[in-house]
Structure 1
Amino acid sequence: MKKTLLAAALLAGFSGVAGAETSVTLYGIVDAGYGYQNYKYDHGGADATSKSSGLRDGTLNGSRFGLQGSEDLGDGLRAIFQLEQGFDVGTSEGSGGFSRQSFVGLSSDAWGTFTMGRQYSAGVDTFLVDNGFNMGDADKVFGSMGMNEGNRVDNSFKYTTPSLSGFQAIVMYGTGDSGRLTADGYVASTTVGRANGASFDDRGSRVSVGVLYAGGPVSAGASYDRQSVYGNDLNGGDASAATNWQVNGAYDFEVAKLSLAYGQDRHGKIGWGGSVEDFADFAGLGLGNFFGTDFKSNNYHVALSAPVAGGTLYAGWGYSTSNANDLASGDLYGGISTYHVNYVYPLSKRTSVYGYGTYGRNLAYVRDLKGTEAGVGLSHSF
């Protein structure tokens, strides 16, 4: 009882100080449900299958909690911060530190916002079109736009202009850190070596720029990302920077909303969420190590969403072609195709139930690597 009273007194004292100096908000999302996945590779005599089912965390929205706040400095200027951590509902395990976002900066309605820390790239901020999730997410075909490692840029400086008639621009620069170029050639912020034991040196600088427009029924965005890589041993030590650009747009006809996106990757896929390991443990088959200086891909996303029975019905198609087959011996690679439907029904402003189904083929560009997913869930925000 004494401990409870002491804790309450400390919290009350903290709240008083926070209220006097700054505005602080605690927020979060808790998302869980049931899901089923089946991935199968059957090509050239190989036969591998991976099936799983059970509780799934963070399907519609990644489960998280965070703090964000601001202090009025006068003349329209504010000091701001945000700290955000992800966690797994099923195990209660956190992602360690504020790994989703952590930044501090200054914001002004007249001059825009400048922040420093771990932040999303312009590719994430400017991808405004409707999207699916899990295997149906557009990040399974696009680089530089998913909320993945590599698109949360460590040690970065970011400036976002104020909104001018619906238009905004974003400029980001990230200094080198302890990230690595992974075995599959997509740049991530984690230490990963190749299957043969070779390692990679620190990643170089990251440049990310973008523009967006939102006004009435129209929304559109575009971005360019460039990730330098120091001393990787792909292609005999060639350290060509990985690059990505994408354009996207949507128009809301009220009865339905049409979304379109197109982009290209060169020399790898930055922050890609679609590697072999993202679907199942097929790395032992020697698949996926075709990236390098000469790699390139063309990426497409088409989606329709419409209000149905009080909720929103979504159908999306993702497609990506690459020159992977030209970079490897044998007929091992092909174009990625994903087909996804979901339905989200709001029980309130903060709580929604959802269901989804997805089919994909040539996942991770691997010919005849196929997958199916289905599930239902509940998402609550606070």
Structure 2
Amino acid sequence: MKKTLLAAALVTGFAGVAHAETSVTLYGLVDAGIGYSQTKVTQGDAFTKTRDIGLINGVKNGNRWGLKGTEDLGNGTSAIFQLESGFDLGNGRSSQGGRLFGRKAIVGLTGESWGTLTLGRQYNVADDFISPIDPFGTGFGQAGVTDGAFGDSPSARMDNSIKYMTPDFAGFKAAIGYAGKNTKTTSEDFFGNEGETRDTSNWITAGLAYNNGPIAVAASYDRFRSNARGIDEDTGLAWETKGTTHMWNLFGSYDFEVVKLHLGYGQIRGSVANDVVSEAGVGSVGLNSALADFAVRSDGLNYTQTNGYRQQSWMAGLSAPVGDDGKVLFSYQGNTSKNTGEAFDGVKGKLHLFSLGYVHNLSKRTSLYAIASYGTGKLKFDNQENVKLKSTLVGVGMQHRF
């Protein structure tokens, strides 16, 4: 009798779980292979060379697992959520600084007639519109748009954010997002000394895209503003942190069926060490980061970390199908950089990056890939020897999606 009751309870329980999970999907991908990478930076007779040979993982795409779900609320509107965790397949550790759901953690509403509204940790608008146009996307190491010549602006994650995206209007989509704070703290000690801190720093992201038939065109803009001030209760002195960084991109592609052409251009104006930029983890300028520490101001800040920083980046690429299951990828990326501040007078950077890749689908879920990428860079000075950079990445791997 007891066994019968227990079996009935288990059956009922599993039926309830199955019913509850009908709108929830478990998904992810695992990506690993064998690769070789080397970066060498030279200034005169001095050089630093870093080489790595062995297991590579998360190359084509970062390893992840996640849960996403939807519930129909009626009238064409649904509640949605997505929780996505990144990890290193080589050692099993969490990525994104050890966050449980560091890649994405959102909840929101979506409707066919009015669009999608989401809240939480999520990507900026550029990741939705710009990154997919690059032939290598945000993957493949330095061959991708973020680790190459553009840096983090085409794909960045926003904490404590809200984002709205319109529905598709004959191929057109627009989106806008905001992440920020408006905090104020006041204090008074036993001696009557007053202290105050106010922080209204914020991040605005926006974009517009058109995708119809063979044409895809997208533009994105991100503005980071640090704005914090206060009075130190110990010294009575006022302090202030202020700075604005602008990042924008314009990408497009045209599919000729036999081959697809990809083009892109972007700019960064302002410090990548802006408090909001740094807190968001958007401070990478791609492969230029390997050169930045050779142009340093007396206070220890390099030429990318002050408000006079300027970077222009561009990309031209091709992708072409090979049979029914393969695709060849190619891109050339380049950029120029400088700093208008007096401390960096005469410092100019230049970068060139060539990448070739191949992806072969063994099934809908499993693919093999190969990547070869070579980059050169230079930092020119008026009064000291130039700095030269060479960076190589070669690898083969396998990816499985579930």
Q: Same fold (TM over 0.5)?
A: yes
- Structure 1 gap ranges (5+): 1-5, 179-200
Does 2:37 align with 1:37? yes
Rounded Cα–Cα distance in structure 1 between residues aligned with 2:328 and 2:224: 36
Cα deviations by residue, 1:75-126 (Å, 9 ceiling, x for unpaired) = 1110000000001111111233100000000110011110100000011111
Rounded Cα–Cα distance in structure 1 between residues aligned with 2:270 and 2:71: 43
2:207 is aligned to 210
One-letter amino acid of the structure 1 residue matched with residue 302 of structure 2: N
Alignment counterpart, residue 301 of structure 1, candidates 312, 315, 319: 315
Alignment counterpart, residue 163 of structure 2, candidates 148, 158, 161: 158
Alignment counterpart, residue 260 of structure 2, candidates 244, 252, 257: 257
Alignment counterpart, residue 222 of structure 1, candidates 216, 219, 227: 219
**Structure-2 change in CA distance of 1:335 and 1:82 (3 Å):** same
**Structure-2 change in CA distance of 1:18 and 1:230 (3 Å):** farther
SS at match of 2:142: helix
Cα deviations by residue, 1:24-55 (Å, 9 ceiling, x for unpaired) = 00000100011111111111332111111111
Alignment of structure 1 residues 182-331 onto 2, 5 Å: 204-230=201-227, 239-269=242-272, 271-274=282-285, 289-290=302-303, 291-309=305-323, 310-324=325-339, 329=344
Contact persistence 2:142–2:287 (CA under 8 A): no
Q: 236-245 or 355-364, which moves further after superposition?
A: 236-245
Cα deviations by residue, 1:213-258 (Å, 9 ceiling, x for unpaired) = 11111111111100112459xxx97622111111111000011000
Does 2:347 align with 1:348? no
One-letter amino acid of the structure 2 residue matched with residue 314 of structure 1: L
1:373 is aligned to 393
**Structure-2 change in CA distance of 1:374 and 1:331 (3 Å):** farther
Contact persistence 1:314–1:341 (CA under 8 A): yes
Does 2:179 align with 1:174? yes
TM-score (norm 2): 0.78
Contact persistence 1:143–1:244 (CA under 8 A): no
TM-score (norm 1): 0.81
User: Shift of residue 275 of structure 1?
Assistant: 5.1
Does 2:142 align with 1:135? yes
Rounded Cα–Cα distance in structure 1 between residues aligned with 2:38 and 2:20: 54
SS at match of 2:349: coil
**Structure-2 change in CA distance of 1:375 and 1:368 (3 Å):** same
- Structure 2 gap ranges (5+): 1-5, 184-197, 230-238, 381-385
1:181 is aligned to none
Identity %, equivalent residues:
39
Contact persistence 1:214–1:220 (CA under 8 A): yes
Rounded Cα–Cα distance in structure 1 between residues aligned with 2:283 and 2:317: 20
Alignment counterpart, residue 102 of structure 2, candidates 86, 94, 99: 99
Contact persistence 2:31–2:398 (CA under 8 A): yes
2:51 is aligned to 51
Contact persistence 1:160–1:171 (CA under 8 A): yes
User: Shift of residue 65 of structure 1?
Assistant: 0.2
User: Shift of residue 332 of structure 1?
Assistant: 5.8
CA RMSD of aligned residues (A): 3.2
**Structure-2 change in CA distance of 1:10 and 1:112 (3 Å):** farther
Count residues in correspondence. Answer: 346
User: Shift of residue 56 of structure 1?
Assistant: 0.8
User: Shift of residue 14 of structure 1?
Assistant: 6.3
Rounded Cα–Cα distance in structure 2 between residues aligned with 1:314 and 1:341: 6
User: Shift of residue 370 of structure 1?
Assistant: 1.4
Contact persistence 2:319–2:327 (CA under 8 A): yes
SS at match of 1:124: helix
Higher-strand-fraction structure: 2
Contact persistence 1:274–1:364 (CA under 8 A): no
**Structure-2 change in CA distance of 1:225 and 1:341 (3 Å):** same
